[in-house]
Amino acid sequence: MSYLEDMAKQIDTIDINGPEPTKEPERQYYFMAKMKHVVKEKSERLGRPLKALINTFGCQMNERDSEKLLGVLQQIGYEVAEGEDDADIILFNTCTVRDNADQRVFGRLGVLKHKKEKNPELIIGLCGCMMQETLVIQKIQKSYPYVDLIFGTHNLYKLAELLYTIHETDAPVVDIWEDAKEIIEDLPVERKYKFKSGVNIMFGCNNFCSYCIVPYVRGRERSRNPKDIIREIENLVADGVKEVMLLGQNVNSYGKGLEPNVTFAELLQEVVKIEGLERVRFMSSHPKDLSDDLIKVMASSDKICRHMHLALQSGSDRLLEKMNRHYTKEKYLEIVRKMREAMPDLAITTDIIVGFPGETVEDVNETIDIVKKAKFDGAFTFIYSKRTGTPAAAMPDQCSEEFVKEQFDRVLTTVQETAKEQAARFTGQTVKVMVEGRNDKDESMVTGRMSQNTVVHFKGDASLIGSIVDVHLDECLGFYYMGTKKS
């Protein structure tokens, strides 16, 4: 039995009247046990189970954090709510990478006001990246006083303890830590998918790209011990997981500061040895730290998916320097060339920002040029968003809205053209597809992903979900395929 299962089984045997443990994760299991009683009592009083809803914004890191939050809520007795209307607790796990992410959260919060008026016992909680900003907290306290719980990115694991404090004090709780302390292992997790899972290999970011808020809200880079990562993946595989995605803001700098030092390529080599694990993905890679060793390890194992997400941001050397990215257009293209040579079937996707302060038509032309040369299989194109506290926010010559809109459309058109061409290159081949779910529009079909992360739709029933099957790619329709399952 794993340590985690062991702890979960023991929850009911924990003496909740005994002293609070000071060590983690024992302390959190103690508060889970206490909260379990609170939830049970309330549920008996209301004559129905209590339900929880987590609304997740942002990246895979937040998705994984939400699985951990749900793990705790389920341990203490909450069931999953269908929507906000049948929830007894609503948690927003927030993102602040661009201003529109903040606005979405404020918009949803406004709606919750009426729900709280109708049901004063409803607990409304906010956590995640946005909560690490002082101005945000001030705004919430002033304009949304009905929020019961605010916590940040560094103390997410304390959910049970914080809920218990609300119960005891009957007052709102705000608990924000400036920095991360230790990495707490072995807390409960409730996965969204049975057959695939994200796995954090590191937290935080040290890169301080001049436009980006993430290092300020996620703290300094910390790598997990390889033994803990391998043990987690082994447990996941024993629980039915076939595909893992190794998560970090810059996985290529994994291992710095660990004793003994381990590189990301070395970690990957260990991960692919895990028996029963069929696919490994990772996200995100930073071009400045991408090593030849990583390319070698990727090429040497079929288990490692043929997909590399490598954020470019801009094709202009002048802007790349102002962005503090530490590579040039040439260096980026050189990495692309090496990767395509080692793995001709590799899909390369990227992130691009348009409208960084001081950007000119010539800078955008450089970006369009590299998009054509690198032949990206896909790209997320973002309009630059000014984030208070970052160096770029204080730079002069912020671009006009009109200019940005025009240039954004130019970049997007080029990205779509190359991606369309790239996607179609596998037509006629038979490839392995991991079936992820039923097709949204047609009940007789299922939807899955190729190693390259490209979506494939084909005839099949729900019994295929979670399996990896051979599919003939009949036709490429833009960015996805229609296929036929081989028997």
The binding site for ligand SAM (CB under 6 A) comprises 59, 97-98, 211-212, 214, 249-250, 284, 286, 311, 313, 351, 353, 382, 384-385, 387
Q: Which of 205, 251, 277, 464 binds ligand SF4 (CB under 6 A)?
A: 205
Q: Which of 28, 66, 75, 96 binds ligand F3S (CB under 6 A)?
A: 96
Pairing of strands 430-438, 455-459: unpaired
Sign of CA dihedral 379, 383, 388, 394: positive
Q: Which of 212, 267, 280, 319 binds ligand SF4 (CB under 6 A)?
A: 212
| Cβ contact 93:66 at 8 Å | yes
Q: Which of 484, 474, 424 is nearest to 454 (CA)?
A: 424
Q: What single DSSP character describes residue 88?
A: S
* Cβ neighbour number for residue 454 with a 10 Å cutoff: 23
Q: Which of 72, 214, 312, 431 binds ligand SF4 (CB under 6 A)?
A: 214
Return all residues near 305 (Cβ < 8 A) that are at least 6 apart: 279, 280, 281, 451, 452, 453
Of 64 and 98, the one with the shorter C-beta distance to ligand SAM is: 98
Number of residues that bind ligand SF4 (CB under 6 A): 10
Q: Which of ligand SAM, ligand F3S, ligand SF4, none does 98 bind, CB closer than 5 to 8 A by kind?
A: ligand SAM
- Detail the DSSP E strand segments found in 251-346: 279-283, 307-309
Three-state DSSP state, 114 = helix
Q: Which of 408, 324, 311 is nearest to 359 (CA)?
A: 408
Q: Which of ligand SF4, ligand SAM, ligand F3S, none does 415 bind, CB closer than 5 to 8 A by kind?
A: none
- Detail the DSSP E strand segments found in 165-259: 173-175, 196-200, 202-203, 222-223, 243-247
Minimum CB distance to ligand SF4, residue 323 (Å)? 8
Minimum CB distance to ligand F3S, residue 205 (Å)? 8
Of 28 and 253, the one with the shorter C-beta distance to ligand SAM is: 253
- Cα dist. 242→191, 234, 303 in Å? 13, 10, 10
Of 285 and 422, the one with the shorter C-beta distance to ligand F3S is: 285
Q: Which of ligand F3S, ligand SAM, ligand SF4, none does 422 bind, CB closer than 5 to 8 A by kind?
A: none
Minimum CB distance to ligand SAM, residue 168 (Å)? 36
Binding flag, residue 59, ligand F3S (CB under 6 A): yes
| Cβ contact 237:274 at 8 Å | yes
Of 255 and 460, the one with the shorter C-beta distance to ligand SF4 is: 255
Tokens standing for 52?
A: 């929880």
Binding flag, residue 240, ligand SF4 (CB under 6 A): no
Binding flag, residue 209, ligand SF4 (CB under 6 A): yes
Q: Which of 208, 401, 405, 442 binds ligand SF4 (CB under 6 A)?
A: 208
Binding flag, residue 152, ligand F3S (CB under 6 A): no
Binding flag, residue 201, ligand SF4 (CB under 6 A): no
Output phi, psi for 86, to 5 deg.
-105, 20
Q: Which of 411, 424, 365 is nearest to 384 (CA)?
A: 411
Site pattern 107..146 for ligand F3S (x: CB under 6 A): ----------------------x-----------------
Of 149 and 214, the one with the shorter C-beta distance to ligand F3S is: 214
| Cβ contact 101:133 at 8 Å | no
Residues in 160-189 that interact with ligand SF4 by CB under 6 A: none
Minimum CB distance to ligand F3S, residue 50 (Å)? 27
Q: Which of ligand F3S, ligand SAM, ligand SF4, none does 329 bind, CB closer than 5 to 8 A by kind?
A: none
Q: Which of 249, 349, 381, 418 binds ligand SF4 (CB under 6 A)?
A: 249
Binding flag, residue 247, ligand SF4 (CB under 6 A): no
SS (H, E, C) 152-178: CCCCHHHHHHHHHHHHHHCCCEEECCC
Binding flag, residue 61, ligand F3S (CB under 6 A): yes
Q: Which of 112, 136, 140, 214 binds ligand F3S (CB under 6 A)?
A: 214
Compute the radius of gyration of the chain from its Cα atoms: 24
- Detail the DSSP E strand segments found in 312-405: 347-354, 378-383
State how far the Cα of 262 lies from the Cα of 304, in Å rounded to an integer: 19
- When CB distances to ligand F3S are compared, the closest residue is 58
Of 207 and 349, the one with the shorter C-beta distance to ligand SF4 is: 207
Return all residues near 413 (Cβ < 8 A) that are at least 6 apart: none
Q: Which residues of this protein are in contact with ligand F3S, per CB under 6 A?
A: 58-59, 61-62, 95-97, 129, 214, 217-218
Q: Which residues of this protein are in contact with ligand SF4, per CB under 6 A?
A: 205, 207-209, 212, 214-215, 249-250, 286
